[in-house]
C-alpha cells in the first residue's frame, strides 16, 4: 500500500471548483473519518488574504455546498482548523518560498498537490514546488482537465510534469470517473455473465452515448469560447465512457490492467479526415430559446459577439478492432438541451429469423436495447419483446416492454458520494485506477485533433439550434440516415 498523503497543497483554492466541490468533498471525508489522522490542507490562490479570511470563505462555501445533515459547528471549526492559506501568483519567487516554508512547517509527511488552476500554470507551479524542494519521491500531483488544447500542447504539459514526477504519481482528473454511475458500467459489463457474450459486432447494431445538459455557459464564456463542446466534453468525459463500454475485459481491477484496456480501445478510434468529417460530425450553437420554461439568451448574445464555438456536437465514431468493426458509436453532447440526461444505449441487432411473421398478421419485432442511464438518476432498462395478452386469432401480437432496474431505488438510503470525494480519497491513498494515464489522454487528443483539423480544412461551421431543443436538425439526420434514431425519453 502506498503511504497516505499528510498534506494536500491545493492551488486554485479560491476558485469555483474548490468552493463547490473540493472543500465540501474534503469536509465530507473528514466527517466520515476517512482522512488520515494528521492531515492538513495548504490552500493557495492569487488573492492576498490571511488564514482567517480564507477560512471564512470556506465556512461560507460549506454552508451552501456541503451536505446539510453533516453540517455541525464543531466539526466545521475542526475542519477549518486544518486549513492554512498562502497566496501565490505565477512567477512570484518570494511567495513561493513563503508557501514552501509553511508546507514544511506542517511536518514532513508525504504531500499531494492538486492543481485546480488554468492549465498554463500546471508546469510553472510544479516547477516552482520542485525548485523549493517540495517534490520528493512519494509526492503526488493531481491536475484538472483540460490537459492541453490539442495533442502537441498536452504532450508539453505531460513532458513538463513527467520530468518531475513518475507516471504512477501523476493523477489526471476526469471527474466522470469518480461518478458511481460510470464505475458501475464496469460492474454491469464484468460482474454479469449475461452481457459479455453479446457485447460485440455480432449482436450489437450500434451504440449511442448522450450527455445532454440544460445549463448554458453560466458565466464561463471566457473559458469556453474557442474551446467548445468537442474539447470540453467529448475529449475527456465522453471518450472515457466510450472506452469503458468498448474495452476488452481487464484481467484485474487494478490501475495498469484497466488502463491498458481503455487505451487500446481509444487507439482503435478511426481518425476523421476533411473528406468524411461532414458526414460524421455536426457542430451546433444555441441561439435564444427557452429551457424548462425559462428564457435563455443565445450563446453569441451572452458572449457579446458572433462566434464559431460549438455548444453542441454529434459524432459518428468507428472503432477499428476485432470486437467493434462495423458498429457505429454515436456520440452527442450539448448545452441548453431540454433535459439533463446522460445515457448510453446499446442497440442490439434483430433476431436472425422471426417466427412471428405471417403475411398480413403478427406484429413488428423490435430488436432489443439496453439503456443505461447515468444522470440524473441511475437506472438500467432492458427492452424486451413480450406477447400481448389475447387469443391471437390474427396472429401473435408482440409488444416491447421494459425490464427496469432503478439503482437509485435499489440502493436507496445509501449515500451517493460526490465524484470528487472518491477521487480525492484515491489521490490521498495513492490509487491511480480512476485517473487518466498519459497514453489515454494522448490517444484521446489524437482522435479529437483529427476532427478539429477536418473541421478547419473543410470549413465546417456551427449550425444554430434553439435553446431548449435537442440540437440542430443535422444532428438528428446524422443518425437517421443510418436508419436509427436518438433515444430520448
Q: Show which residues are catalytic.
A: 237
Q: How far is the CB of 213 from ligand BG6 (least distance, A)?
A: 5
Selected from 232, 310, 343, 442, the binder of ligand BG6 by CB under 6 A is 232
Q: How many residues of this chain bind ligand BG6 (CB under 6 A)? A: 2
**Cα–chain center distance at 5:** 25
Q: How far is the CB of 175 from ligand BG6 (least distance, A)?
A: 6
- Using CA atoms, how far apart are residues 461 and 439, in angstroms rounded to an integer? 30
**CA nearest to 156, candidates 123, 179, 190, 200:** 123
Fill in the DSSP letter of residue 358.
B
Fill in the DSSP letter of residue 322.
T
Q: How far is the CB of 478 from ligand BG6 (least distance, A)?
A: 22
**CA nearest to 368, candidates 351, 356, 343, 388:** 351
- Using CA atoms, how far apart are residues 484 and 102, in angstroms rounded to an integer? 60
Do residues 240 and 269 lie in contact, with contact meaning Cβ atoms separated by under 8 Å? no
Instruction: Give, as ranges, the residues between 379 and 418 that touch ligand BG6 (CB under 6 A).
Output: none
**Toward ligand BG6, which CB reaches closer, 215 or 251?**
215
**Toward ligand BG6, which CB reaches closer, 213 or 302?**
213
Indicate the pairing of strand 289-291 with strand 294-296: antiparallel
Q: Which three cell numbers stand for residue 269?
A: 478510434
**Toward ligand BG6, which CB reaches closer, 144 or 426?**
144
Q: Which three cell numbers stand for residue 77?
A: 471549526
Indicate the pairing of strand 40-44 with strand 7-11: parallel
Q: How far is the CB of 427 from ligand BG6 (least distance, A)?
A: 18
Do residues 5 and 111 lie in contact, with contact meaning Cβ atoms separated by under 8 Å? yes
Angle at 447 (CA atoms; ends 282, 267), nearest 5 degrees: 135
Please return the burial class of 489, using the count of CB atoms within 10 Å of its CB with bins 0-12, 13-18 and 19+: exposed
**CA nearest to 262, candidates 437, 445, 423, 447:** 437
The phi-psi region of residue 281 (left if phi > 0; otherwise alpha if psi is between -120 and 50; otherwise beta) is beta
Q: How far is the CB of 364 from ligand BG6 (least distance, A)?
A: 36
Regarding 144 and contact with ligand BG6 (CB under 6 A), the answer is: no
Q: Which three cell numbers stand for residue 385?
A: 419483446
Cis peptide before 407 (omega within 30 of 0): no
Residue entry with cell 513563503: 98
Cis peptide before 146 (omega within 30 of 0): yes
Residue entry with cell 405471417: 358
**Toward ligand BG6, which CB reaches closer, 237 or 259?**
237
Instruction: Give, as ranges, the residues between 184 and 213 that touch ligand BG6 (CB under 6 A).
Output: 213
- Residue with the closest Cβ to ligand BG6? 232
Q: How far is the CB of 282 from ligand BG6 (least distance, A)?
A: 19
**CA nearest to 262, candidates 438, 141, 449:** 438
**Toward ligand BG6, which CB reaches closer, 213 or 442?**
213
Q: Which three cell numbers stand for residue 153?
A: 500542447
Exposure b/e, 220-253, CB count within 10 A at least 16 = b: ebeebbebbbbbbbbbbbbbbbbbbbbbeebeee
Please return the burial class of 115, using the count of CB atoms within 10 Å of its CB with bins 0-12, 13-18 and 19+: buried
Q: Which residues pair with 212 in a beta bridge?
A: 334, 341
Which residues of this chain interact with ligand BG6, rule CB under 6 A? 213, 232
Amino acid at each position: 500500500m502506498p503511504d497516505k498523503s499528510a498534506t494536500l497543497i491545493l492551488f486554485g483554492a479560491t476558485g469555483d471548483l474548490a468552493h463547490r466541490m473540493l472543500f465540501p468533498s474534503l469536509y465530507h471525508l473528514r466527517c466520515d473519518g476517512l482522512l488520515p489522522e494528521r492531515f492538513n490542507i495548504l490552500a493557495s490562490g492569487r488573492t492576498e488574504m490571511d488564514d482567517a479570511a480564507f477560512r471564512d470563505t470556506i465556512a461560507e462555501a460549506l454552508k451552501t455546498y456541503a451536505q446539510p445533515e453533516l453540517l455541525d459547528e464543531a466539526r466545521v471549526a475542526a475542519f477549518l482548523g486544518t486549513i492554512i492559506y498562502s497566496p501565490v501568483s505565477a512567477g512570484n519567487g518570494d511567495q513561493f518560498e513563503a508557501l514552501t516554508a509553511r508546507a514544511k512547517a506542517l511536518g514532513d509527511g508525504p504531500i499531494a498537490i492538486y492543481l485546480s488552476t488554468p492549465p498554463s500554470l500546471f508546469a510553472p507551479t510544479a516547477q516552482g514546488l520542485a525548485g523549493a524542494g517540495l517534490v520528493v519521491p512519494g509526492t503526488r500531483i493531481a491536475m484538472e482537465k483540460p490537459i492541453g488544447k490539442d495533442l502537441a500542447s498536452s504532450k508539453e504539459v505531460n513532458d513538463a510534469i513527467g520530468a518531475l514526477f513518475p507516471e504512477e504519481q501523476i493523477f489526471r482528473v476526469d471527474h466522470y470517473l469518480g461518478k458511481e454511475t460510470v464505475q458501475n458500467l464496469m460492474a454491469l459489463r464484468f460482474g454479469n455473465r449475461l452481457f459479455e457474450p453479446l457485447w460485440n459486432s455480432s449482436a450489437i447494431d450500434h451504440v449511442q452515448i448522450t450527455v445532454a445538459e440544460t445549463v448554458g455557459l453560466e458565466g464561463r464564456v471566457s473559458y469556453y469560447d474557442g474551446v467548445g463542446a468537442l474539447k470540453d466534453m467529448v475529449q475527456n468525459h465522453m471518450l472515457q465512457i466510450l472506452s469503458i463500454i468498448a474495452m476488452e475485459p481487464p484481467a484485474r481491477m487494478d490501475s495498469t490492467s484497466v488502463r491498458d484496456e481503455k487505451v487500446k480501445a481509444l487507439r482503435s478510434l478511426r481518425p476523421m479526415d476533411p473528406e468524411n468529417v461532414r458526414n460524421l460530425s455536426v457542430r451546433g450553437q444555441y441561439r435564444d430559446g427557452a429551457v424548462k420554461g425559462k428564457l435563455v439568451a443565445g450563446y453569441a448574445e451572452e458572449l457579446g459577439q458572433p462566434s464559431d464555438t460549438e455548444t453542441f456536437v454529434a459524432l459518428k465514431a468507428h472503432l477499428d478492432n476485432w470486437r467493434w468493426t462495423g458498429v457505429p458509436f454515436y456520440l452527442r453532447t450539448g448545452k441548453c438541451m431540454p433535459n439533463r440526461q446522460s445515457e448510453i444505449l446499446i442497440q442490439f441487432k434483430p433476431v436472425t429469423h422471426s417466427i412471428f411473421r405471417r403475411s398480413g398478421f403478427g406484429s413488428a419485432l423490435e430488436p432489443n436495447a439496453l439503456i443505461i442511464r447515468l444522470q440524473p438518476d441511475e437506472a438500467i432498462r432492458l427492452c424486451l419483446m413480450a406477447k400481448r395478452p389475447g387469443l391471437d386469432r390474427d396472429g401473435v401480437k408482440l409488444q416491447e416492454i421494459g425490464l427496469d432496474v432503478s439503482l437509485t431505488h435499489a440502493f436507496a438510503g445509501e449515500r451517493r458520494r460526490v465524484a470528487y470525494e472518491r477521487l480525492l480519497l484515491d489521490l490521498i491513498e495513492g490509487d491511480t485506477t480512476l485517473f487518466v494515464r498519459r497514453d489515454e489522454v494522448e490517444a484521446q487528443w489524437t482522435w479529437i485533433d483529427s476532427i478539429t483539423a477536418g473541421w478547419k480544412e473543410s470549413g465546417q461551421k456551427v449550425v444554430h439550434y434553439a435553446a431548449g431543443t435537442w440540437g440542430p436538425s443535422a444532428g438528428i439526420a446524422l443518425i437517421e440516415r443510418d436508419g436509427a434514431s436518438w433515444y430520448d425519453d
